[in-house]
Amino acid sequence: MQLLLGILLFSFLINAVLIIPFIDFLYHLKLTRRNQQTKDPLGKRTHVFDFFNKQKAGIPVGGGILIILTQSFLFFLILTLFDLTALPITHVYPFKAEIFVLFACMLGFGLIGLYDDLLKFFRVQKRRFFGLRFKTKLLIQLALAFLIAAWLYFQLGINFIYLGPLGVVHLSIFYIPFAALFIVFFANAFNITDGLDGLSTGLLLFNLLAFWFLSATILDNILGIFLAIWIGGILSFLYFNIYPARIMLGDVGALSFGATLALIGLLLGKILPVILISSPYIIEALSSLIQLFGKKYLNKKPFPVAPLHLWLQKIGWEEPKIVARAWLAQIVLAVIGLWLSLF
């Protein structure tokens, strides 16, 4: 644990040194948020969203790029140092297969998000849902998620979920669609939650800390090192992402981090605690899904606006208040989830 804490601090320092020049670099490239008329996946204007987000115009977008790059570089640097010093690395799954799936997910979903971000910035084509058309984006995500899920099943041998007191459920080949949908859901849930300064990244920090503890209980140093580096990166980023934000993740970070969070949950195997720990993302996503279902099939809105954080803004809650209380709720849920994981 002492070594992992050192890795976390090292990652924090590296990201802290790089983030200000990176913000200036994003300004130089003019990768900044713009005021624009946004639409939901059904093609309808989102007036409330536009109203509450118009003041965010001009903020650099693409912070996820820096974290993904430092995550990749530092992880393989530290693995090299472990190899040179002959320090042992414990792992639950096949060594190379576990590393491959972690970075295939983070980089793969990051590239989808980056492509979508670039379409927004440079207005390459007409779009229905910001960048890529919603259905196109979803199909690409599903294709990648099914490949990742198949890797988990065939290469890592994962075919079950552990439900705590309810025991183990073996899914056999049906684990692949379950894992794929789980990954895609969380990728988009994170993206939906990423609407207020510091909200999604703050929740992610507490999720990762809880998952870090769980990785220690199964003695998986691969996950422990990966999470330590990621936590250090998120800590430095969050300093500049809290209200008023100086930098945003963008889709490149939101899709990548949501999908990778889900993947780590699957690797940990303890699905029930993982779902409880990550429930703020789930609640945000479900509120949006219910709203879309109501508008499409019932021709009425179940909620005044969605997702949940946007409704709280509409009824008068200030942005920092929503974020701070979401963090507090996340801490309590993380503690409950960790307690549940011990059964």
Q: Residue for token digits 């996503």?
A: 285
Average pLDDT on 64-77 reads 97
How does the average pLDDT of the chain come out, rounded? Answer: 91
Model confidence pLDDT, tens digit, residues 211-244: 999 999 888 999 999 999 999 999 999 999 999 9
Contact 126, 37 (CB under 8 A): no
d(CA 308, CA 287): 6
Which range has the worst mean pLDDT, 97-101, 210-214, 303-307? Answer: 303-307
- pTM of the predicted model as reported, rounded to 2 decimal places: 0.94
Which range has the worst mean pLDDT, 114-123, 200-209, 328-337? Answer: 114-123
Q: Return the H-helix or E-strand segment holding 323.
A: helix 319-341
- What the block records as the tokens of 42 is 């059904």
pLDDT of res. 128: 45
d(CA 315, CA 308): 11
d(CA 254, CA 164): 29
Torsion region of 269: left, alpha or beta (phi above 0 gives left; psi -120 to 50 gives alpha) = left
Model confidence pLDDT, tens digit, residues 251-297: 999 999 999 999 999 999 888 889 999 999 999 999 999 998 898 88
Model confidence pLDDT, tens digit, residues 116-170: 888 877 665 444 444 567 788 899 999 999 999 999 999 999 998 887 777 788 9
SS (H, E, C) 24-43: HHHHHHCCECCCCCCECCCC
Q: Return the H-helix or E-strand segment holding 153.
A: helix 134-154
Instruction: Give the 3-state secondary structure of residue 189.
Output: helix
Contact 247, 16 (CB under 8 A): no
Model confidence at 39, pLDDT cuts 50, 70, 90, reads: low
Torsion region of 40: left, alpha or beta (phi above 0 gives left; psi -120 to 50 gives alpha) = beta
